[in-house]
Structure 1
Amino acid sequence: MTTLFDPVTLGAIPAANRIAMAPLTRNRSPGAVPGALVADYYAQRASAGLIITEGTAITHQGQGYADVPGLYAPEQLAGWRRVTDRVHDKGGRIVTQLWHVGRVSHDTLQPAGASPVAPSAVSAQAKTYLVNADGSGSFAETSAPRALDLSEIPGILDDYRRAAKAAVEEAGFDGVEIHGANGYLVDQFLRAGSNRRTDAYGGSIENRARFLFEVVDAVTEGAGRGRVGIRLSPVTPANDASDPEPQPLFEHVARGLGSRGLAYVHVIEGATGGPRDYRQGARDFDYAAFKTAYRDAGGEGAWMLNNGYDAELAKRAVESGAADLVAFGRLFIANPDLVERLKKGLPLNEPDRKTFYGGGEKGYTDYPFAA
């Protein structure tokens, strides 16, 4: 019987166990450059089978929150190289999450104070994190976006391709994960609530999914087959994401991903950080049918599940074959040695929510390891 602690291969990436560290925005990279503290944080958690970094902006335009890292400047890539070297020195595997936030941004975070971009000029009923003049952090309403012109889309695809290539070849990552979830740019194109376009990228399911498939192809060209994963959240309302018929939409996405040589598909069940049984549309989402659509289309990538998992739920998911591996978020914030604690049934540290976003080592690198 396969267990949570058995090794697994994700495309071209070998993992020592089936426990993944989920991407977690922590806002500790001033100037979008990951520093020594960030390297300490990830190195502490290198026993995870796979670390997925916090969302990392592919361009300045893709930035949506203060003090989150980027992949578009030499100093950012050099900072990430220090992180990946530390993780690899401890025997870990690490991929970075490629992030373009689209409309979930603020004009003060954009180049020259420009408006954020989106599939359509529809504001997100959401908030972003800003750093105030006195250095404190606070949340603010997102700025109104402008709709992307059709001629701009190839340039964004080039940004994804370049960032993926730089992540693997210069920053030393084992692969990349496309952030296609939680109401950010790729997800905005998918969903009818945020995509009101009438051109080849809007209207039908096939048109709304076009951008996602083009991003996957561009990123695969940059990083290589077997080194690309994608994160999807079929029903989450995060960042004002909505669609009246998520089942046919995401089954179409799953079938289109089947032939694209992905390392893994990372699925958020329910509302991100909330109820696992959250519903959008008239019926419950059928996650088994979603997975079947991917497998029937030839998809061989590992199947990763996420959202509200504890040790027992994760063990059952892997042992039953529902998941090849499980991603943990907040538990990894407070437990750098989570793998050992789960394996030995040790007590878990409780995370300090007040330190989730911004700050220094407190609530970041000072959580104790088990004796």
Structure 2
Amino acid sequence: MQQINDLSARIGQYQEQIQAAVARVIASGWVVLGPEVKQFEQAFAAYIGASDCISVANGTDAIELGLKAIGVAAGDRVATVANASMYTTTALLAIGAEPVFMDVDLDSRCASLAEVTRAVDAGVKAVVVTHLYGLAAPEIAGIAAFCAQRGVPLFEDCAQAHGAAIGGKRTGTFGLASSFSFYPTKNLGATGDGGAVVTSDPDVARRMRALRQYGWSDKYKVDVAGARNSRLDEMQAAILSAFLPGLDDANARRLAIAERYRAGLSHPEVQVPQAGGSAYVGHLYVIRSPRRDALRAHLREAGIASDVHYPIPDHRQPVFGGRYAEVRLDNTERLAAEILTLPCYPEMRDADVDRVVEAVNGWGK
């Protein structure tokens, strides 16, 4: 069976580095907020091109605490997309904020400047732009300039876009702050949960460091409300430091796989993404078909795994009941019915990719 991802292959490739990282932490006797966390935070901030990286326990905590750090509070209305599986929406609900859902561009699957403008004109307190599937939102520079002009904080969700860049500027540096996930399947993934907020604003960084640890300004002195205990542990930080130097090469391999798909896929009922270059780091390779479910069943019979990222838009999630029944997001809803994720990970061989291409092109023949 061709898997959608193969974490064991990456872990095997880095087995010696992982073992050395774990042994180093155990020998140090320092397992929380120690030198490994500090080293990784500094290295990742430098890689992204920001002054500060504040690591936390997972990517969703990074969104929630990061939004709090930029000033989002209970009752605030915050713009977000509805095609990214509730992660930002879950964080907003935890804060007590109200999501204002934006539609996405049909081709990029990301928020557009037009939708951000609509949301800001409607009075949102902040805007969250998600760089989905590894693609930097094409209009992110214009969105950032518009938000700055209107005095509305821009927050970037970069959980799927480690290393993506537009005009030499990496995702995570366009807004006031950004969040990253280090879940194992991410382009830069740990061997467990992890996340971070990246910013070049010293006040946001200071608040974020307090928010991840009880709201402390000094030990046992709580100055910041809404905080919690959310920390990246030393072992995961050490492992991420081992993986980080190989991130660009792994992204290049993902892009090469995506290009092989783009060149090879030719079925008349399948639409392939056209993204390439530095703006795309191939976190997921997502095609479209009006008969998505039939294609998925065909691939399963051929021994090829696939997935749907994501099948239920946020505004249609059962948790809301009929709260957003009147909200129509035409592109978001169409994509949810048509998208299908094919296997794409750095350890895939060309022969594996060609097998997927052959199966897709042979559908219905």
TM-score greater than 0.5 by the shorter chain: no
Q: Highest relative contact order (Cα 8 Å, sep 6+), 1 or 2? A: 2
Structure of higher CA gyration radius = 2
Give TM-score scaled by structure 2 length.
0.30
Give TM-score scaled by structure 1 length.
0.29
